[in-house]
A and B are shown apart, each in its own frame.
Chain A
């Protein structure tokens, strides 16, 4: 009797250890993410999600297509091209920092082992500027949106392809940190990103349709009618946090960079189509 009992106890222990060791991999997370939306919106083809909320909002889509005939972000692309082509005071240019640019959106964000952090495109732009004696640009409003618009436009058609290098466990840790942020409730209103953009994607809050998380990173920077200008992804993160009455984090700080890393990975496979125009 005692032997049987001991065997059962060992079995129970083995089972529980196996179960707890089975944390999901990023690949499994991505498959689950896509499946969630496939089940929620069975008639929407995967590539359509690159259009964000307009993949699931036919009336909004009509308005959007009308706006896209005279895209409000066009002047920003032109300004951005001028920025790209004008050399810095020291004679060097963005092209020297980014030989493969300006069509380089799909290279970001990436895990930089040497710097030990997630590098986003806006961060890389400022690192380039500072390395060449130029002042860094602000990360939410202003001229960063010009150069980002140009880079996004030139990169249209590239495929989202974020990698999480296995040789550096800190990369996976950054991904997991971003994932945790995404699913954690915050603010006086007690919402997580997932509450609106997974759980309630496609539902209406007043008369606005909540956009699906799939497609959220493909079209930045964005001309938002509400802003009356082009703004960055981290500006939107900040706004979303404020909307749930949570204290926003710093643009291009660790939290939002890790969040971008996770969220962009969840958008892997989707075509890039920035800059975008939204409500």
Chain B
């Protein structure tokens, strides 16, 4: 009796572990595709056009108007704060040279989400 429940516990434990691994692999895959798409949006002249002002790893001929986009997770430990900054940079700095990518609908919400994934990964 005890033996049976022990085996059941082991089996369900193994199932949960496998499921857990599958789920986290799936979300890592989703994250990395969001990051890849975010990179495309960042480098697209008609969308993020981030290279106009920012040096970005992987980008050529960046402008120098704004800080390079590196060490982003130490600068923005909270990803939501990074999203807010890209949404409307005039909130933190009314004299900013950066367009309000979210507030003025330069990017869609989905594009903004993907862009944030990419920028935060730098």
CB within 8 Å of B: which residues of A? 188-191, 195-196, 199-200, 203-207
CA A189 to CA B90, docked complex, whole Å: 12
CB distance from A244 to the nearest CB of B (A): 9
Complexed CA–CA distance, A204 and B64 (Å): 5
Q: Among A188, A200, A205, which residue has the most Cβ atoms of chain B within 10 A?
A: A205
Interface residues of B in 44-84 (CB under 8 A from A): 51-53, 61-65
The smallest C-beta distance from A213 to any residue of chain B, in angstroms, reads 15
Contacts of A188 in B (CB 8 A): 99, 104-106
A243 to chain B, nearest CB (A): 11
Contacts of B100 in A (CB 8 A): 190
| Cβ-closest chain B residue relative to A185 | B90
Inter-subunit contact A206/B61 (CB<8 Å): yes
The answer, yes or no, to whether B121 is at the interface (CB within 8 Å) is no
Structural contact, B99 and A205, CB atoms closer than 8 A: no
A151 to B43 Cα, complex, angstroms: 44
Chain A residues whose C-beta falls within 8 Å of the C-beta of B99 in the assembled complex = 188-191
- Docked-complex contact B104 and A200, CB < 8 angstroms: no
B33 contacts partner chain A, Cβ-Cβ < 8 Å: no
If over half of B's interface residues share one DSSP class (helix, strand or loop), that class is named, otherwise mixed; here it is: loop
In the complex, how many residue pairs between chain A and chain B have their CB atoms under 8 Å apart? 36
CB closest residue in chain A, given B51: A206
Contact A189 B53, beta carbon cutoff 8 Å: no
- Considering the chains assembled together, what is the distance between the CA atoms of A202 and B31 in angstroms? 38
Chain B contributes a number of interface residues (CB within 8 A of A) equal to 16
14 A-B residue contacts at CB 8 Å?
A188-B99, A191-B99, A195-B97, A199-B97, A200-B65, A200-B97, A203-B63, A204-B63, A204-B64, A204-B65, A205-B52, A205-B53, A206-B63, A207-B61
Most buried by A among B61, B62, B99, B105: B99
Q: Which residues from chain B contact A191 at a C-beta distance below 8 Å?
A: 97, 99
Closest B residue to A195 by beta carbon equals B97
Indicate if B95 sits at the interface (CB-CB under 8 A).
yes
Q: A207 to chain B: which residues have CB within 8 Å?
A: 61, 63
| B contact residues around A205 at 8 Å (CB) | 52-53, 63, 65
Out of A190, A195, A196, A206, name the residue touching B62 (CB < 8 Å).
A206
Q: A199-B97, A200-B97, A206-B51 are in contact. Are A189 and B106 (CB under 8 A)?
A: yes
> Is there contact, CB below 8 Å, between B104 and A206?
no
Complex interface: chain A residues within 8 A of B104 (CB): 188-190
Interface residues in B83-120 (C-beta closer than 8 Å to A): 90, 95, 97, 99-100, 104-106
